[in-house]
Structure 1
Amino acid sequence: MNDIVIGEDGVERQSLRDYTENAYLNYSMYVIMDRALPHIGDGLKPVQRRIVYAMSELGLKAGSKYKKSARTVGDVIGKFHPHGDSACYEAMVLMAQSFSYRYPLVDGQGNWGSPDDPKSFAAMRYTESKLTKYAEVLLSELGQGTVDWQPNFDGTMDEPCTLPSRLPNVLLNGTTGIAVGMATDIPQHNLREVANACIHMLDNPKADTEELLQYIPGPDFPTDAEIITPKADLQKMYHSGRGSVKMRAVYTREDGDIVITALPHQASGAKVLEQIADQMQKKKLPMVSDLRDESDHENPTRLVITPKSNRVDVNQLMSHLFATTDLEKSYRVNLNMIGIDGLPQVKSLDMIIKEWLEYRITTVRRRLQHRLDKVLARLHILDGLLVAFLNIDEVIEIIRHEDEPKQELIKRFGLSDKQAEAILELKLRHLAKLEEMKIKGEQDELSKERDQLEKTLGSERRLKTLVKKEITADAETYGDDRRSPIVSRDEAQALSEIDLMGADPVTVVMSEKGWIRAAKGHDVDGTGLQYKSGDKFLIQANAKTNQQAIFLDTGGRAYSVNIHGLPGARGYGEPVTGSINLASGQKISTMVIGQPKDQYLMASEAGYGFITQYEDMVSKNKAGKALLNKPDDKAIHSPVKVSDVEQDWVVAVSNEGRLLTFPVADLPVMAKGKGNKIINLGTSGDEVLIGISLMKEGDMLIVNAGKRHVKMKFSDLEHYQGERGRRGNKLPRGFQNVSSIEVIRKDD
């Protein structure tokens, strides 16, 4: 960086580049070190530390009376934090909100906001405050030489650089902040769990994050909502210091209603209701009929959702709401803080615990040394007083007659300056005989304390034991049970537009020229409907409005159409080509409607086929998908539903009167393709698979050959049983020119 140049006129000059670079760097460091990031020692940002310290200086301890918040804010910005009063007050409010802080530091009286609207707190001239009992964890050792002090902004008084926290507040209350080029997002944790982890680290200095996770399974927010982040993700987060945590609301069932009893951290019940109501208004939540907020003082969170009927799948509905509303929220985790070396760093869990314990041990050592210094100073004074009592007459004589009694006392009895000063300041009533006994008693007590302090300071093991005892005692005093249970849950899935539709029964009817419509109900006779001139009924199928219809063209492609979008039966319907892009030169040959896991037998006149699932027929593209491969001159057969893979038999008949039957299990299950050979057709090229169906015990097969037909029971087909792909046996005379077959199920 270039030096500042002083011109002849005495004016300092510097290039704009150097000046702005220097100014921005200074600003960045200020924001990082003195505003946005917490210190690992006490877990507080400067403004929070100054608020807590100012309140303690005002005497606002947990046992004192409340004082106006404006008084506190005035002291903070006037003595320590020369910034806006509103920003200072907001920081103070946050420390008072039990739904924001796991262990609040400020005890507020008045309106301090609500979970629905944390910013709805009253002005500082109306609210009153004092410190909570937990704040003693940060303040109780402040005047005992435990921390360093620094001048305030105008140098008129001192303020603590950090507070001597007896517990790792940086993990207990967490914090969020945005600095320049970095941010911090530290979640809250349970006091007892963190204390146990600290004790384990004291006993096992080489413990790693993996061991500490036995004591700290995850964050613990000030809400009863569930943490659903997988255990592996939580472990990864604590190892790296970065990650995310996902929370989900808790609900119960009451008389058919869904009652939400706990919301994720910082989720607003009013906003959740607004999000659900918005979906209802847009008709995207037809399975919900009513919504209300029954929250009160006894039940801070009680949101009631009433399903439309008891047939609604509550788990599916809640999964949709978790995916689309604030009933499930994710929180970024970035364990970035200022370490004991004064530098910002993203730390793993073991680094945080280890560094904080180092800070705590140093604090305790300084506290003990401070007390030892005081004890030694007092013992020194007592030694001088005892000399005075043993030579009281001579001391009085010196004081009465000497011009400089202090120097004479020092010379005569070998006293120090402080001892001589203490003797001179003695009051006459302290010259009683009993005082000598009191001095000796105090000497004995202080000597014992001195020995104990020196032992502790001289032994690292004793020091750690003391720290451990104090952490245990504080955990018993301030600790509580975990509030946010960590559970394993399935990932939330938003319902699709089709899933959200009502499942009303309809009959889909298609004409020969490809016009489709959906008539209400399942008792519809498609042949009785009106058709355009030159058009007539082709096929119909029962369905529900939340299903899809599959159309197969003559080339073996499959197309999907949402049934809820089809026109009613009052008119002629609409061309199926309006919903799909039919392949050139092809036309629709048949229609299938079923459930995703239903299986169907697919076959072509070429004598090949396979089994496929209904969900494999569904296409997301208007251009459809290739399903059945076949020669161009061979037609496809309508898919036949497989009712029982173990019992169904394939019945295949050629136009030349050859019949073959074999178990349907002999055919492969495929998503698409040509399939395997069903029946071996002749070499002439004129023979085709004219009919194919499925039957089992109790069914009846009808074979049609022109005007003739023959009925055959399942037991009659024993003569035609064979391996898949064989030639099959000839049907009786008169049935050498088969036109079609039909199976009548015993269940029909």
Structure 2
Amino acid sequence: MSEHYTEEGTERIRLAEFTEKAYLDYSMYVILDRALPHIGDGLKPVQRRIVYAMSELGLSAASKHKKSARTVGDVLGKFHPHGDTACYEAMVLMAQSFSYRYPLIDGQGNWGSPDDPKSFAAMRYTEARLTPYAKVLLAELGQGTVEWTPNFDGTMKEPSLLPARLPNVLLNGATGIAVGMATDIPPHNLREVVSACIRLIEAPKSTLEELCEHVPGPDFPTRAEIVTPRADLLKIYQTGRGSVKARARWEREEGNLVVNALPYQVSGARILEQIASQMRAKKLPWIEDLRDESDHENPTRLVIVPRSNRVDVERLMSHLFATTDLERSYRVNLNLIGLDGRPQVKNLREILVEWLEFRFATVRRRLQHRLNKVLDRLHLLEGLLVAFLNIDEVIHIIRTEDEPRPVLMSRFELTEIQADYVLDTKLRQLARLEEMKIRAEQEELATERDWLEKTLGSKQRMKTLVRKELLADAEEYGDARCSLLVAREAAVAMDESELAPSEPVTVVLSEKGWVRAAKGHEIDPAGLNYKAGDGFCDAVRLRSNQPAIFLDSTGRSYSLMAHTLPSARGQGEPLTGRFAPPDGAVFRAALGGAPEQRWLLASDAGYGFITQAGSLIANTRKGKSVLTLPKGARVLKARPVVDLHTDRVVAVTNEGRMLVIPLSDLPEMARGKGNKIIGIPGKRVAIREEYVVDMLVVPEGGKVRLISGKRHLNLKAADLNAYEGERGRRGNKLPRGFQKVDGLELM
């Protein structure tokens, strides 16, 4: 319960109650009188006042232009006591053909450009008048069609709404942010919306899906394509909310890509800046040059020059659509003030039904207003004709009577209004031909009266009239669709592997986990300079646009693009700066290549499996678990696979045993422990008594070199046959002198 009391003549209320009421009052003001359009004329109050003030100044489409400052002054002084800047900006918006689908104001001077809509000249320099389309809002204003309300100081009247002959709220759309709600109504094509209205007049039970056959989607002022699927557009019109995607139009011209239409409210200069930024960052190696050739004949002409004719231009444009404003999404929120004065999000059918209700009410008021005028005029003509037929007696009464009005009313049975009209009649109207004129006017007005009464008394006649007027306006102001509805594949940005140049590199990993990349595949990784106490661990030959993958001692994989690695001219950088491996983990192996490249991953416990490079990519600093290690086991170097069906796996233990098995005996997995390749008791692995020294994938006909200290043993393909066995066996003993193998090499 609020407490109101006075103290020394001052009323006091609780602060919480005051602030709540003040905020609610402000909220309702912003919603109803500033930010949201009305369904009737589709205008916000400031727009309505600008259009009305210009009509009062006589600035029709047929008049001369007048200074914009004159209009703004009238609007502020008579109807809208707010800032002149905001008022002028609202006026500019209604004059920009690239902002409004059907502009309401015809401007002379600098009214901004698509590249910079805010670059318009000051109002003291520009001139304006109304466009022919503005007649749609103003033509029936003085015909008793709308309510009039006092202006802010009560000195004059202004229309609460304009009697729109078309659903302007859909044609020009609206954007606005109120308190706790917003509106984003996209513009639509006039002929399509009128067609939907006529469908509703003829078949009031038409469904929303049937109406969407006439209104398939928004129609922005620019010629960009709308690529939102039809099903999504239908959902937007069903719910009143969603988003619409518009995409620039382009074509090939002498090997170049020419963009000739941009999405709504997108700047060509901004597009060039976005593309150039990617070029500077070396993220667009496919583009050689960029030009803006826009002029008066070609308002939008952005030229993109590919580096060669081998560039996949469709893929390139898809990337640009995904990464620049060449494709843009527009929020849709069909929130407006209905006939009940309340803001609400409505679907397309509700908007059209409610607007038609407004239109029928407006036409009915217009016809009734005209009927009243006709009846009043017929009443006056009836009295005038009586007086004319008895003109001598009327003149005698006027000359002889002190109060002729009551005498006339009594003698000829005239009403007070008729008597006053007879007395106010000029002598020139007493000519002999006046009777014929009166009777002709009576006959004409009687015909119009009958038509008006019949129309007002018949729903079908009203429907026919409204339908006829809608078709006439569509014929006069309608045009072809600007934004074509096109089915396109979703835009996809290219990843780093596609954008980076493809050059041969050798990625080198040191024992301490330092990494670097050397150009070419001919270098000797072991011959590079290393820090004191460090040395060569592993290397892999890749392309610069491929990911380099690293395995740590816990079996986790990590990845980064090869072209991002430091040059081999220095000593590289530690991988711990790029990744966050578990405590105590060290990096053991390097691999990579195309996503479908297969590798053999194995532990020195004798277990392993085949996997693809794409399965090892981890886009996180912590990597991902790939190889499961038995207790006491360590990670071996990864080995590339050439052919799954003909390659063989060679495994050698520290006990001098070697086993050769077909690679096809091993499973292909994304992660796990794998299958046993060579048999080693688990207890011996745990205490490091026996383990696999090295493992190699040998292609068909390949040769192997065993390294034992400074001694080498070369084994041909036929020699390896002697060590073949079933997977998981212990393998055969190597010759004397090679019982301790340090490693294996392909010859």
**Does the residue aligned with 2:95 lie in a helix, a strand or coil?**
coil
Partner letter of residue 251 of structure 1? Answer: W
Q: Are 2:256 and 1:250 aligned? A: no
**Does the residue aligned with 2:144 lie in a helix, a strand or coil?**
coil
1:403/1:168 CA distance change after superposition, 3 Å: same
1:711 to 714, 717, 724: 717
Which residue does 1:338 correspond to in 2? 337
TM-score (norm 1): 0.85
Which residue does 1:700 correspond to in 2? 701
Confirm or deny: 8 A CA contact 1:660 1:729 kept in the other structure: no
Confirm or deny: 8 A CA contact 1:532 1:572 kept in the other structure: yes
The structural deviation recorded for 1:103 is 0.9
| Aligned mates of 1:391, 1:22 — CA distance in 2 | 69
| Aligned mates of 1:162, 1:414 — CA distance in 2 | 43
Partner letter of residue 468 of structure 2? Answer: K
1:660/1:207 CA distance change after superposition, 3 Å: same
| Aligned mates of 1:240, 1:576 — CA distance in 2 | 52
Which residue does 1:113 correspond to in 2? 112
Q: CA RMSD in A?
A: 4.0
1:650/1:301 CA distance change after superposition, 3 Å: same
Moved more, 173-182 or 459-468: 173-182
Which residue does 2:298 correspond to in 1? 299
- The number of aligned residues is 732
Moved more, 468-477 or 604-613: 604-613
| Aligned mates of 2:581, 2:184 — CA distance in 1 | 55
Which residue does 2:76 correspond to in 1? 77
The structural deviation recorded for 1:195 is 1.4
Which residue does 2:361 correspond to in 1? 362
The structural deviation recorded for 1:651 is 5.6
**Does the residue aligned with 1:700 lie in a helix, a strand or coil?**
coil
Partner letter of residue 341 of structure 2? Answer: G
Moved more, 86-95 or 358-367: 86-95
Partner letter of residue 520 of structure 1? Answer: K
1:570/1:390 CA distance change after superposition, 3 Å: closer
Which residue does 1:672 correspond to in 2? 671
1:15 to 13, 16, 31: 13
| Aligned mates of 2:261, 2:45 — CA distance in 1 | 33
Moved more, 519-528 or 89-98: 519-528
Give CA deviations for 1:482-510 in whole Å, capped at 9, x if unaligned.
22233444555555666554333222345
Matches within 5 A, 1:43-82: 43-82=42-81
Moved more, 134-143 or 625-634: 625-634
Which residue does 2:175 correspond to in 1? 176
Confirm or deny: 8 A CA contact 1:659 1:731 kept in the other structure: no
Give CA deviations for 1:74-110 in whole Å, capped at 9, x if unaligned.
2222222222323222221111111121111111111
Confirm or deny: 8 A CA contact 1:189 1:218 kept in the other structure: yes
Confirm or deny: 8 A CA contact 1:209 1:349 kept in the other structure: yes
Matches within 5 A, 1:471-490: 471-490=470-489
TM-score (norm 2): 0.85
Confirm or deny: 8 A CA contact 1:150 1:159 kept in the other structure: yes
The structural deviation recorded for 1:167 is 0.7
What residue ranges of structure 1 are gaps of 5+ in the alignment?
Answer: none
What residue ranges of structure 2 are gaps of 5+ in the alignment?
Answer: 685-689, 707-711
| Aligned mates of 2:404, 2:359 — CA distance in 1 | 47
1:539/1:200 CA distance change after superposition, 3 Å: same
The structural deviation recorded for 1:290 is 3.8
Confirm or deny: 8 A CA contact 1:555 1:632 kept in the other structure: no
1:567/1:154 CA distance change after superposition, 3 Å: closer
| Aligned mates of 1:148, 1:275 — CA distance in 2 | 51
Q: Are 2:139 and 1:140 aligned? A: yes
**Does the residue aligned with 1:185 lie in a helix, a strand or coil?**
strand
| Aligned mates of 2:683, 2:426 — CA distance in 1 | 137
The structural deviation recorded for 1:540 is 4.1
Give CA deviations for 1:145-194 in whole Å, capped at 9, x if unaligned.
11111122232222111110001111211222233333333222221222
Which residue does 2:558 correspond to in 1? 559
The structural deviation recorded for 1:55 is 1.1
Which residue does 1:199 correspond to in 2? 198
| Aligned mates of 2:261, 2:399 — CA distance in 1 | 80
Q: Are 2:468 and 1:469 aligned? A: yes
Which residue does 1:151 correspond to in 2? 150
Which residue does 1:519 correspond to in 2? 518
| Aligned mates of 2:187, 2:228 — CA distance in 1 | 15
1:553/1:346 CA distance change after superposition, 3 Å: closer
Give CA deviations for 1:663-697 in whole Å, capped at 9, x if unaligned.
x4x754421012346688899988979866465xx
| Aligned mates of 1:167, 1:192 — CA distance in 2 | 10
Moved more, 634-643 or 406-415: 634-643
Which residue does 2:687 correspond to in 1? none
Moved more, 461-470 or 359-368: 461-470
Partner letter of residue 138 of structure 1? Answer: L
Which residue does 1:103 correspond to in 2? 102
Confirm or deny: 8 A CA contact 2:2 2:14 kept in the other structure: no
| Aligned mates of 1:89, 1:561 — CA distance in 2 | 54
The structural deviation recorded for 1:219 is 2.2
| Aligned mates of 2:250, 2:358 — CA distance in 1 | 43
Partner letter of residue 372 of structure 1? Answer: L
Moved more, 248-257 or 63-72: 248-257
Confirm or deny: 8 A CA contact 1:701 1:742 kept in the other structure: no
| Aligned mates of 1:423, 1:642 — CA distance in 2 | 114
| Aligned mates of 2:584, 2:177 — CA distance in 1 | 63
Which residue does 1:611 correspond to in 2? 610
**Does the residue aligned with 2:133 lie in a helix, a strand or coil?**
helix
| Aligned mates of 1:212, 1:639 — CA distance in 2 | 63
Which residue does 1:549 correspond to in 2? 548
Which residue does 2:599 correspond to in 1? 600
1:28/1:575 CA distance change after superposition, 3 Å: closer
Moved more, 507-516 or 104-113: 507-516
Which residue does 2:709 correspond to in 1? none
**Does the residue aligned with 1:95 lie in a helix, a strand or coil?**
helix
**Does the residue aligned with 1:224 lie in a helix, a strand or coil?**
coil
Which residue does 2:220 correspond to in 1? 221
| Aligned mates of 2:365, 2:584 — CA distance in 1 | 92
Confirm or deny: 8 A CA contact 2:516 2:571 kept in the other structure: yes
The structural deviation recorded for 1:598 is 2.4
1:731/1:661 CA distance change after superposition, 3 Å: farther
Confirm or deny: 8 A CA contact 1:605 1:635 kept in the other structure: yes
| Aligned mates of 1:137, 1:281 — CA distance in 2 | 51
| Aligned mates of 1:560, 1:147 — CA distance in 2 | 70
Moved more, 600-609 or 38-47: 600-609
Give CA deviations for 1:541-568 in whole Å, capped at 9, x if unaligned.
3322232222335654433354234343
| Aligned mates of 1:137, 1:669 — CA distance in 2 | 72
Give CA deviations for 1:41-82 in whole Å, capped at 9, x if unaligned.
111112211111111111111011111212222222222222
Partner letter of residue 715 of structure 2? Answer: H
Confirm or deny: 8 A CA contact 2:680 2:730 kept in the other structure: no
Confirm or deny: 8 A CA contact 2:164 2:359 kept in the other structure: yes
1:652/1:404 CA distance change after superposition, 3 Å: same
| Aligned mates of 2:119, 2:534 — CA distance in 1 | 69
Confirm or deny: 8 A CA contact 2:115 2:268 kept in the other structure: yes
| Aligned mates of 2:491, 2:522 — CA distance in 1 | 38
1:632/1:179 CA distance change after superposition, 3 Å: closer
Percent of aligned positions with the same letter in both sequences?
60
| Aligned mates of 2:591, 2:624 — CA distance in 1 | 15
The structural deviation recorded for 1:613 is 1.8
Confirm or deny: 8 A CA contact 2:549 2:592 kept in the other structure: yes
| Aligned mates of 1:652, 1:587 — CA distance in 2 | 25
Moved more, 194-203 or 601-610: 601-610
1:678/1:226 CA distance change after superposition, 3 Å: farther
Partner letter of residue 74 of structure 2? Answer: D
Confirm or deny: 8 A CA contact 2:201 2:463 kept in the other structure: yes
| Aligned mates of 1:515, 1:23 — CA distance in 2 | 66
| Aligned mates of 1:399, 1:78 — CA distance in 2 | 49
Which residue does 1:505 correspond to in 2? 504
1:91/1:701 CA distance change after superposition, 3 Å: closer
| Aligned mates of 2:153, 2:605 — CA distance in 1 | 97
